Amino acid sequence: MVDVILGLQWGDEGKGKIVDYFAPGYQVIARFQGGPNAGHTLYVNGTKIVLHQIPSGVFHESTVNLIGNGVVLDAVTLKKESQKVAEHGIDVRKNLFIAERTHLILPTHRALDKASELAKGNEKIGSTLKGIGPAYMDKTGRNGLRVGDLLDKNFTTQYIKLRMKHQRLLDSMNFQEDITAWEEEFFEAVEFMRELKVVNGEYFVNDKLSKGAKVLAEGAQGSMLDVDFGTFPFVTSSSTISAGVCSGLGIAPQKIRDVLGVSKAYCTRVGSGPFPTELENETGEELRKLGSEFGATTGRPRRCGWIDLVALRFACMINGVTKIVMTKADVLDSFEQLQVCEQYKVNGQLTAEVPYQMLKSKIEPIYTALPGWKTDITAVKSYADAPAKMKEYIDHISKYLGVEISYVSNGPGRDQIISA
């Protein structure tokens, strides 16, 4: 049995905390896509920890953590992250496994990412410059190096061959970057990775399932950044939706039971791209301040706005969401009135559907106003004790989406989750 936790917006929904909360009920936690542009924030014994590639179940010693083949892996980031986790008494060599089919992010991928973004000028996508897009391009172009290649005695030769190919491409883009330091770091991290447990990921996870293990598949980014269904071209380079679990871990569709979609009580987005409910005013600034909305990976200020139910219903549909976890409800505590977007006016026409290409349409969000609860909810332990106006807000959204909001996060702490 496999359950899935993924984001329903543009990422940054607080998935790390949610995976950490549910992890004790599972024997395997598996990341199925994305790269080190993901930043999953956890609070362990009051200390803030940001995980970029290691699954969020790593602090539960009884769980096994798998980095699946759908991920693109940065060895340098993994080494640094492992050292940070070790400061909290966790040795990843014991409970972290990596699928041998997982593609590697190389130093030249980072250079290509930077060159590509510079070439776009004012039309930048907002890449984190981690080399993720070029790594996925090499994967689909059948050029990449994979974790299993680390065990090959000819790995360095394979790397040099691919590096030369990348260098020709960089030369054609008139991009010059000394990546010597990056390469030194990379090969040091490669030696560290050789100490970790590399497995045939699809046999590994299916063997666990055949023995009755419960698997939690952890997504990165959000559904509106999916390479097929997101706000293209301002998307990530992988499949962020539940379908990506099958290709990203080697799991059959019928093995999936629940899909838990995570959504903030409002909306945020990092980087460029369409964002219909963005508030470029004092209210948006207030949301940013109250929610500490700065990227966990980049530190960039997040764009903020009211919750977008048109996009959220679309995300629930394509993911087959069975339950919703609403995060950061406490950020709305001080607002007198709340707005929820239930329709778009696209080029003068009302619609409740996400258009094919948001950039080519003039989109005006159509809001419904709901009363705020004007109460500090951070100490609330049960849904019965939650403010009536908060329940109205949650019920209204659940009814619109046709999916129950089953859990509400009312603060950053591990225990600040209310079962609705």
Kindly list the distances between the CA atom of residue 416 and the CA atoms of 257, 317, 409, 419, in Å, as whole numbers in the listed order. 25, 28, 6, 10
To the query of whether residue 40 is one of the catalytic residues in this protein, the response is yes
Same domain membership, residue 343 and residue 405: yes
Share of the chain above pLDDT 90, in %: 79
CA dist., res. 296 & res. 284, Å (int) = 19
Residue 297 has pLDDT above 70, yes or no: no
CA 372 to CA 393: how far, in whole Å? Answer: 8
Quick check: 201 and 69 in contact, CB under 8 A?
A: yes
**Could you report the per-residue pLDDT of 13-25, keeping only the tens digit for each?**
999 889 889 999 9
* 193, 228, 244 - which closes a domain: 193
Point out which residues pair with 337 in neighbouring strands. 371
* Residue 245, helix vs strand vs coil: helix
Residues in Cβ contact with 176 at an 8 Å cutoff, skipping those fewer than 6 apart:
170
234 and 284 part of one domain: no
Question: What confidence score (pLDDT) does residue 126 get?
Answer: 61
| pLDDT exceeds cutoff 70 at 320 | yes
Pairing, β 64-67 against β 40-44: unpaired
On the CB side of 176, CA atoms within 13 Å amount to 0
Q: How far apart are the first and last CA of the chain?
A: 24
Same domain assignment for residues 371 and 270? yes
Tokens describing residue 364? 């005006």
pLDDT at 298: 66
Q: Which residue of the set 12, 20, 74, 330 is catalytic?
A: 12
Point out the domain boundary residue: 146, 167, 193: 193
Is residue 122 predicted with pLDDT exceeding 60?
no
Q: Specify the pTM.
A: 0.92
**Tally of domains in the chain:** 3
CA distance 68 to 413: 28
Digit-coded pLDDT (tens) for 12-62:
999 988 988 999 999 999 999 999 876 777 777 777 888 889 998 888 888
CA angle, residues 320, 324, 327, in degrees to nearest 5? 140
- Tell me: do 142 and 79 sit in the same domain: no
pLDDT band, residue 182 (cuts 50/70/90): very high
Return the CATH number at 244.
3.40.440.10
User: Based on the domain organization, do 32 and 95 belong to the same domain?
Assistant: yes
Question: Is residue 212 located within the same domain as residue 82?
Answer: yes
Do 180 and 202 lie in one domain? The reply is no
pLDDT, residue 299, reads: 74
Q: Does residue 12 carry a catalytic annotation?
A: yes
Q: Could you list the residue range(s) of the whole structural domain that residue 227 is in?
A: 2-102+197-259
Average pLDDT over residues 249-254: 97
Same domain, 295 and 401: yes
pLDDT of residue 407: 98
Q: Mark whether 211 and 66 lie in a shared domain.
A: yes
Q: Which of 20, 40, 52, 103 is catalytic?
A: 40
Q: What residue type is assigned to position 129 of the chain?
A: L
The Cα–Cα gap between 327 and 265 comes to 6
Kindly report, residue by residue over 143-170, the tens digit of the pLDDT: 999 999 999 999 999 999 999 999 999 9
Looking at the structure, do residues 337 and 276 belong to the same domain, yes or no?
Answer: yes
Tell me: do 291 and 360 sit in the same domain: yes
